[in-house]
């Protein structure tokens, strides 16, 4: 892995943003993605389970906001729901419940925000 460090350093922020994990290519399983550089397997990416991805996305949103999502005003919560919907958060089992909990609102409120977006 002598000349591979720049490649690994280049993909690490993306893998971190997805909530994935970098692993040696020889430890890759069938669900992992092996990345090659100049014809040589350099690193594998273990992708997170969808539910873990949602938790990771919510945590990243909180870091970006600098405060818990529950502390956002109504308009900011509506925008968060719009972003989460675009990222597929509600395709995950219990996604609405997870998001509602993070936002400090009811499931009904999340559904209202989703319906509001569709009607706009």
Each residue's pLDDT tens digit, 3-56: 578 999 999 998 887 788 999 999 999 999 999 988 999 999 998 877 678 888
Instruction: Give the tokens for residue 37.
Output: 């550089």
Query: How many other C-beta atoms lie within 10 A of the C-beta of residue 65?
Result: 13
Question: 0.85 cut: is pTM over it?
Answer: no
Measured over the CA atoms of residue 66, residue 70, residue 75 and residue 79, the dihedral's sign is: positive
What gap in Å lies between CA 80 and CA 90, rounded to an integer? 12
């Amino acid at each position: 892995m002598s000349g591979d460090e720049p490649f690994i350093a280049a993909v690490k922020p993306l893998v971190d943003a997805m909530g994935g994990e970098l692993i040696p290519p020889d430890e890759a399983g069938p669900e992992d993605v092996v990345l090659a550089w100049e014809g040589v397997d350099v690193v594998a990416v273990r992708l997170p389970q969808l539910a873990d991805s949602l938790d990771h996305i919510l945590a990243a949103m909180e870091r970006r906001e600098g405060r818990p999502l529950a502390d956002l005003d109504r308009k900011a919560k509506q925008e968060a729901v719009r972003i989460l919907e675009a990222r597929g958060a509600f395709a995950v089992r219990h996604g609405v419940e997870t998001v509602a909990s993070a936002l400090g609102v009811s499931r009904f409120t999340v559904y209202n925000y989703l319906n509001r977006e569709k009607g706009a």
